[in-house]
């Protein structure tokens, strides 16, 4: 059974944060649908606020501290990213952008991405299409068509006990699952790990 690895990036600053709540809902729906499609799923949730100092130091020193280096490696090795940021000044947060900036841009090429954002008013929902989508398009990722914005009114329950976010979350997650259903870009070292030593040696000997 194939495994799909998803890294969830939450740029919320509070504890708890609405960004983390949305990220968890998107991840849970994607996991449920992937397992329903016959995949094993590995999910790693990253709270970027816990890395804020390491990210800043990385800009100054050019060196990633062990925890930040581990997270960067996990992002590079994942099949998909669920990225959720709160809205600040009509765009994604500085913390969110700073983390993206410490990544090797080429490491995101072809990766499946699901976008989410949270804010205090629905007037901020265009951040998905006018800030986050252009960023990840520039990085040559494959972006799910539906992004999910959650405002204050989205955290209550409807009369039937359901969440008003549920249908949007499930639709966006289904689009991410569709992106993950076909052949995926090779992870680092996949080619080396999948070939027997004798075959690798034969390739070297033949000059390939």
pLDDT in tens, 19-76: 999 999 999 999 999 999 999 999 999 999 999 999 999 999 999 999 999 999 999 9
Output the domain CATH number for residue 57.
3.40.50.360
26 vs 121, higher pLDDT: 26
pLDDT of residue 197: 58
Q: Residue 138 belongs to what domain range?
A: 3-205
pLDDT of residue 191: 41
pLDDT at 161 over 80: no
pLDDT at 137 over 60: yes
Q: What are phi and psi of 111, to 5 degrees?
A: -75, 140
192 pLDDT band, cuts 50/70/90, is very low
pLDDT in tens, 71-106: 999 999 999 999 999 999 889 999 999 999 999 989
9 vs 193, higher pLDDT: 9
The structural domain count of the chain equals 1
């Amino acid at each position: 059974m194939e495994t799909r690895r998803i890294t969830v990036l939450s740029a919320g600053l509070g504890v708890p944060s609405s960004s983390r709540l949305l990220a968890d809902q998107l991840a849970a729906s994607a996991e449920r649908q992937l397992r329903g499609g016959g995949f094993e799923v590995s999910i790693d949730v990253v709270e970027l606020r816990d890395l804020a100092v390491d990210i800043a130091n990385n800009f100054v020193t050019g060196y990633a501290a062990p925890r930040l280096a581990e997270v960067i490696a996990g992002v590079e090795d994942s099949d998909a990213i669920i990225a959720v940021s709160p809205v600040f000044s009509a765009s994604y947060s500085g913390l969110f952008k700073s983390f993206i900036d410490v990544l090797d841009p080429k490491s995101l090429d072809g990766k499946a991405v699901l976008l989410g954002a949270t804010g205090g008013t629905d007037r901020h929902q265009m951040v998905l299409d006018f800030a986050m989508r252009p960023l990840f398009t520039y990085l040559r990722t494959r972006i799910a068509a539906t992004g999910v914005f959650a405002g204050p009114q989205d955290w209550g329950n409807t009369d039937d006990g359901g969440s008003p976010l549920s249908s949007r979350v499930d639709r966006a997650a289904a689009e991410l699952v569709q992106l993950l259903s076909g052949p995926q870009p090779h992870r680092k070292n996949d080619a080396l790990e999948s070939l027997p030593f004798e075959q690798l040696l034969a390739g070297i000997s033949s000059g390939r």
